[in-house]
Structure 1
Amino acid sequence: MKFLLALASVALPTAHAAKEVFAHMIVGNVNNFDLADWENDMRLAKESSIDAFVLNVGAGDENNDRSLELAFQAANSQSFKLFFSFDYLGGPAGPWPKDQVIALLEKFGNDPAYFKHDGQRPFVSTFEGPDNAADWTDIKAGSNAFFIPDWSSKSPAEAVTLAGGVADGLFNFDPWPVGPSNVSTDLDKPFLDALGDKLYMMPVSPWFYTNLPKLNKNWLWPGDGLWDTRWNQVMELQPDFVQILTWNDFGESHYIGPVNEKQLGLFTTFEAPVNYVKDLAHDGWRKFLPFYIEQYKTGQAPAEFAEQAAAYYRTAAALACASGGTTGNNPAFGEPQFNPEDLMEDAVFFAALLKSDEGVTVSVSIGGQTQEASFSIAPPSGAGTAGVYRGSVPFGGNTGDVVVTVSRGGETVATAEGGKPISGTCENDVQNWNAVAV
């Protein structure tokens, strides 16, 4: 959800607790999961150094009981952590009644798998719900909850004062730039200024595109370069917590978890003109997470890591097919409207996690047509240092399989390949503005 925020002067955050990185998970998407599905996702999250899933739960969802029982069973078997984000907008029954929030926290808040702030207080968040802020005085009194809500529909200065300052901090559900601007820390600074000694949970996301007519959703925000840029901003601001948006929100294309057919029924339910997630894995956006997360937590690059390559790209040129009525930006939020092709490049974006870029070359093959490439962006520590180096090459009218090869001294260091090929056509002749990340 996007809201325009008034900029304020900056108050740099102070260290309050051990830093943690979470991933937002839509429980309503996993109604068909079995225990093995939950365990598989948790294993992948742990391999990516994610500390916990933030379980977005909607009030009145008849599948909540089964899904949550499985989730906590899996988390205990995998030594993984979970906590709730109560969705005050997306549930079948509307905003959460206070007594139902209390009941869920009583049932799960003391579970060994429930994530505790500083090992003691059950961590709790929301998606929206500022009109119910007063409920949290009683909820916190009964549960000892550590409460970091998303009340982004209010300004940070107002949100932090609601119900006498009941929130222990704030989460900002807004990591996407309003095109054609690039993402910046101006999204975060109003929160840092308003929060004072309270804690800030900073959002990071790789992409945004949605086309679900039954929900009146059909827009994109620019995602070129977003993921790695945002992680560099995390290093700059050093927030108390980071929340990745998201693990499995396929309807908005910002998932980093695996594509599981059991979660894709929403494209039929909400009458999407095309299933814009099928065969478009985003696994590549998880590759560098252990590096980024350790760097965020320790303040320095890890001493040891495997050099790797990643790439992402859309699977058809912007003008290869009809736009699908998608707008660049969302006019319903009062944002200026652009043609989507004006906000997205027809390019293969590549990145390499390297100990140094000295002697390194890059080639990008599209359908067997190879282009020599170079890094245009070095890590914040500069060229010749350890970190993520980035660049891009245009499609150049080429179609076919994409292979990115990173070499040093003539020897291959890493490759990124195996994603859906670039094509000159689109399913149902509707442009898919989602990307594949390998």
Structure 2
Amino acid sequence: MKLIFALAAAASMCLLPAQAAKEVFAHYIVGNSADFSVADWEEDIQLAQDVSIDAFVLNVGSQDTNNAASLPKVFEAANNKNFKLFFSFDYAAMGPWPKDQVIALMKQFGSDPAYFAEPETGKPFVSTFEGPGNAGDWPTIKAATNCFFVPDWTSLPPADAASAAGGVADGLFSFIAWPNGDANMTTDSDKLFQTVLQPEQKKYMMPVSPWFYTALPGLSFPKNWLWRGDSLWDLRWQQVVEVQPDFVEILTWNDFGESHYIGPVRKTPAKQLLSAGGAPVDYVTNNPHDGWRKHLAFYISQYKNGGGSAAASAAAVGNSSVRVPVNAAAAAPVVKEESAVVYYRTNPATACGTGGTLGNNADFGQSETAPENLVQDNVFFTALLNSPADVAVTIGGKAQTSAFTKTPAGGGAGTYEGNVGFAGNVGDVVVTVTRKGTPVVEVKGGPPISKNCAVENWNAVAISAP
């Protein structure tokens, strides 16, 4: 399969569709939760609710024998927590889903109170990971289940995906969440999807992801490459505000193997996955990504308010378990709790062996390159503040010249961003934000930067405070 990265420049001229509802979902690999109890599911659900995520997208493999035990537990937990779920049928990891099994699973869970219904039609929402070769199954599945169908068929050009099986899809989800090469992510692909879908008033679900690195060469489908993740998380949420898609799907909550998890590291499934995949280094266990959730309620409220002012978004932070309604009236520009997020890789790019990792992947129609060509040896930081402030960074106790280089218009409440290079230094990373000499927030405690490694860990660490 090849993703379509060569996208028409004309896409940037499309008109935005009218918005009826905006929801934010997180992609959840059910296969990575085989040992979960109901309480474990409730713990992850609560973390998602705390940052205004509306539902988990349950990625289910066609031959995963754990589905029968796992799915009743997660639906029980979701009902206990008043949370929503819907299925993404994975047609790639374990082969295509037989249509009768899709129908059976939808009939079992599609009417459950916890199952997410598309807001305008009230129909149970369904997605896929790939599977355009089985597009012809979906007229029958839709007739049997009355579902609202928004697949990921990104291996096809958007126009072909939209017209597959007589236009059976009610919308499309794109998996183009990472840039091709050393440039930053653009919105060209998103706007092309919107251009294709708008004439038929079909929905667009936009992907957002913080990172991508996988090193599982021992799988039956070996994977060992990275895509550029520098600045991606903050930039992509700014692009969500610009694009204003119908839905947003975060890639992912718990895909440890591809390093784009924002949920907590579950050490047992992570270690099992890395061991089964022959990973050359444990790139997950000591690489928390919890920091990337810290400002998520702010980003989501910006999206749901159509961009608006920073005021309405900032007002949601500090009580992020309360969802902000779409088009809520602007509130006073106050961030109730000023905070900061820091992320970085723990090995300089040329300090260790590559582990066979490549930058980009020819299977996706990309030009492969050395991985160090796609990453920067930088410490990245984002602070959510009420007003301008100063930032100081030390690596191994050595001060780095640092400043916020991207600030909100007018210097009010919002996100302040910047980054500094490693400059050859190793050791603990400490980022301190002050205002007129008074401490505001300090982020520390993550794994140190080190050159003491045999194989490069291309994954990031994302931490935050308070």
TM-score (structure 1 length as normaliser): 0.96
Maintained 8 Å contact 1:175/1:187: no
Partner of 2:329: none
Within 1, Cα distance between the matches of 2:212 and 2:4?
15
Maintained 8 Å contact 2:362/2:368: yes
Superposed displacement of residue 165, structure 1 = 1.0
Maintained 8 Å contact 2:3/2:365: no
- 1:325 aligns with one of 346, 352, 356: 356
Partner of 2:428: 401
- 2:245 aligns with one of 222, 231, 239: 239
Partner of 1:144: 146
Identity of counterpart residues, as a percentage? 60
Superposed displacement of residue 414, structure 1 = 1.5
AA of the residue aligned to 2:344:
Y
Deviations 1:197-245 (A, max 9, x none): 1110000000000111123211111100000000000000111000000
Superposed displacement of residue 356, structure 1 = 2.1
Superposed displacement of residue 116, structure 1 = 0.8
Aligned residues between the structures: 430
Maintained 8 Å contact 2:4/2:157: no
Partner of 2:265: 259
Maintained 8 Å contact 2:182/2:375: no
Q: Does 1:347 align with 2:378?
A: yes
Deviations 1:325-350 (A, max 9, x none): 21111123231122111211111111
Which piece of structure 1 moves more, 27-36 or 197-206?
Answer: 27-36
Q: Does 1:213 align with 2:231?
A: no
Distance 1:308 1:55, change over 3 A: same
Within 2, Cα distance between the matches of 1:50 and 1:165?
29
AA of the residue aligned to 1:435:
A
Superposed displacement of residue 3, structure 1 = 3.3
Q: Does 1:198 align with 2:202?
A: yes
Partner of 1:370: 399
Within 2, Cα distance between the matches of 1:352 and 1:16?
30
Secondary structure of 1:117's aligned partner: coil
Which piece of structure 1 moves more, 233-242 or 325-334?
Answer: 325-334
AA of the residue aligned to 2:275:
T
AA of the residue aligned to 1:313:
Y
Within 2, Cα distance between the matches of 1:173 and 1:325?
25
Aligned-residue RMSD, C-alpha: 1.3
Within 1, Cα distance between the matches of 2:155 and 2:284?
28
Within 1, Cα distance between the matches of 2:298 and 2:260?
20
AA of the residue aligned to 1:159:
A
Secondary structure of 1:320's aligned partner: coil
Within 2, Cα distance between the matches of 1:309 and 1:191?
34
AA of the residue aligned to 1:226:
L
Within 1, Cα distance between the matches of 2:149 and 2:442?
43
Within 2, Cα distance between the matches of 1:372 and 1:397?
14
Partner of 1:413: 440
Partner of 2:16: 13
Which piece of structure 1 moves more, 331-340 or 386-395?
Answer: 331-340
Superposed displacement of residue 253, structure 1 = 0.4
Within 1, Cα distance between the matches of 2:268 and 2:67?
16
Within 2, Cα distance between the matches of 1:65 and 1:345?
44
Superposed displacement of residue 143, structure 1 = 1.4
Written as runs of structure 1 = structure 2, the 5 A alignment for 1:279-318 is 279-299=286-306, 300=308, 301=310, 302=313, 303=315, 304-305=334-335, 306-318=337-349
Superposed displacement of residue 55, structure 1 = 0.3
Partner of 2:53: 50
Within 1, Cα distance between the matches of 2:253 and 2:400?
33
Within 1, Cα distance between the matches of 2:241 and 2:39?
35
Secondary structure of 1:183's aligned partner: coil
Within 1, Cα distance between the matches of 2:362 and 2:111?
44
Maintained 8 Å contact 2:152/2:174: yes
Deviations 1:304-333 (A, max 9, x none): 432110100000111111111211111232
Partner of 1:187: 189
Distance 1:3 1:217, change over 3 A: farther
- 1:70 aligns with one of 70, 73, 82: 73
Deviations 1:17-37 (A, max 9, x none): 210000000111111112221
Deviations 1:219-274 (A, max 9, x none): 11110000000000000011100000000111110000000112211101111111
Within 2, Cα distance between the matches of 1:88 and 1:267?
22
Distance 1:187 1:333, change over 3 A: same
Within 2, Cα distance between the matches of 1:48 and 1:36?
19
Maintained 8 Å contact 1:33/1:262: no
Secondary structure of 2:411's aligned partner: coil
Secondary structure of 1:116's aligned partner: coil
Maintained 8 Å contact 2:191/2:243: no
Superposed displacement of residue 383, structure 1 = 4.4
Within 1, Cα distance between the matches of 2:361 and 2:406?
29
- 1:430 aligns with one of 455, 458, 465: 455
TM-score (structure 2 length as normaliser): 0.90
Q: Does 1:228 align with 2:234?
A: yes
Q: Does 1:356 align with 2:356?
A: no
Superposed displacement of residue 2, structure 1 = 4.0
AA of the residue aligned to 1:377:
K
Partner of 1:165: 167
Deviations 1:274-322 (A, max 9, x none): 1110110001110100001011101323234321101000001111111
